[in-house]
Structure 1
């Protein structure tokens, strides 16, 4: 017999969930929303959204200007509390800097969070996407090299369960966005040990990623190099960048083992 949804139990705090929905309503493309826009994006009534916004404003997480609202710097405390508890970023910082210098491209470390990958460390060299990426930025996991190497560590059952909860869409004419195509690609990633995504997230972007394993062998993060798409990008990625990625991968994993680092629950598989 299936257990009742957690949202229907006495332990579920609806006001907390709604407050987080309001915070997530702010984004790069909606940085100064009105009350109506917050309510619509958060799926709440105007009255509920207003009370939550005023509470968040009182606590210092939200500010207002006229009829618009905006996030205050204090919201960074939420993300930095997580990052400060994640020893992995300290272990990987120097390695990413050396990798970026070696290949002359931007390098990133990310983890899987639900439908998205979230950047926890980044060394940018040039801007290769239309949106600025930094620590805390989120991208759809299915269309990124970072996401696919983490997803490749899931069992077939776990992967199917994850996919059934997603809404895939074509981000460019080259995006793999069906379960059949994605499963075939992730199987290839699983076999070869790395992922290449060419023009699927943005037409001008080419990226290659490898997984990062914890001491127990599970994939807990992904490391990638992103570059502009050119005719010679495929050959350069495999012949020059992949060996550098493997060196960085080994360096980070050795540091994890020496430091006896174990992944937080938030970084373990989505479907245990």
Structure 2
């Protein structure tokens, strides 16, 4: 489930600190001072300064007066993953097909700890809502893909997740009760799909199905979503579930031909 692993003898602390600093910048903190970076990452000011200076020299971080920010060069790292894993060639075709048929939006995501990472996305939506772009991360408990992915875990790992996650009411409808969430996860396991309404943000009704490798393990999830009020979960199930399952099956077949993508999705 993406838990912290035991550090091998070859583990490079300095590199880990640098990556933690890059991950600390987000929509809420696009710029930070040295002291703010130090507090957010949990490093001493001296350690944070060394990492920031290194990243600045390499061109991944810039500075405006005393405030640091990310630079476009960082996007090259994401592009390297995108093209080496052949995301555009393998995943985007099916995601785009879902959007062309039904409109709205579609994504592929995988589980990383308590969050879902979106690895492919297409959308025709324009309203203000959570930005489901490739690379975005959202809490698994509040997304249809997250619930499908959690449903594929052994019971002990689901219990561990529910014991350790920190749910926040992202909307007034967000399910934050562990018992209720476990029931939703078990329903997703029985049905082979999950639906959510206004869990992550107002206006999002979504349906997700698992993407399974040849050995039957769930390595990712595929979803389709629309505007709450314009579509209901029952409508998504009736109108889109067969197409979504077919697309997930096609992606699963592709994984047998592209082992690198299988590895990056399923670990």
Same fold (TM over 0.5): yes
Task: Give the paired residue count.
Answer: 263
2:182 match: 183
2:266 match: 268
2:66 match: 67
Q: Which runs of 5+ in 2 are unaligned?
A: none
Q: Is the 8 A contact 1:88 1:256 kept in 2?
A: no
Closer, same or farther in 2 for the Cα pair 1:79/1:232, shift >3 Å?
closer
Equivalents in 1 of 2:260, 2:85: separation in Å? 10
Following TM superposition, by how much is the alpha carbon of 1:129 offset from its aligned partner in structure 2, in angstroms?
A: 5.1
Q: Is the 8 A contact 2:116 2:139 kept in 1?
A: yes
Closer, same or farther in 2 for the Cα pair 1:86/1:164, shift >3 Å?
farther
After superposition, the CA RMSD in angstroms is 2.1
2:204 match: 205
Q: Is the 8 A contact 1:117 1:147 kept in 2?
A: yes
Following TM superposition, by how much is the alpha carbon of 1:121 offset from its aligned partner in structure 2, in angstroms?
A: 0.7
Closer, same or farther in 2 for the Cα pair 1:248/1:10, shift >3 Å?
closer
1:92 match: 91
Q: Give me the TM-score of the superposition, normalised by structure 2.
A: 0.90
Q: Which runs of 5+ in 1 are unaligned?
A: none
SS across alignment from 2:121: strand
Following TM superposition, by how much is the alpha carbon of 1:226 offset from its aligned partner in structure 2, in angstroms?
A: 1.6
Closer, same or farther in 2 for the Cα pair 1:163/1:77, shift >3 Å?
farther
1:161 match: 160
Q: Is the 8 A contact 1:111 1:117 kept in 2?
A: yes
Following TM superposition, by how much is the alpha carbon of 1:90 offset from its aligned partner in structure 2, in angstroms?
A: 2.5
Q: Give me the TM-score of the superposition, normalised by structure 1.
A: 0.88
Post-superposition, which runs of at least 4 consecutive aligned residues in structure 1 deviate over 4 A? 262-266
Following TM superposition, by how much is the alpha carbon of 1:80 offset from its aligned partner in structure 2, in angstroms?
A: 2.6
Q: How does 1:238-253 map to 2 (within 5 A)?
A: 238-253=237-252
Following TM superposition, by how much is the alpha carbon of 1:266 offset from its aligned partner in structure 2, in angstroms?
A: 5.0
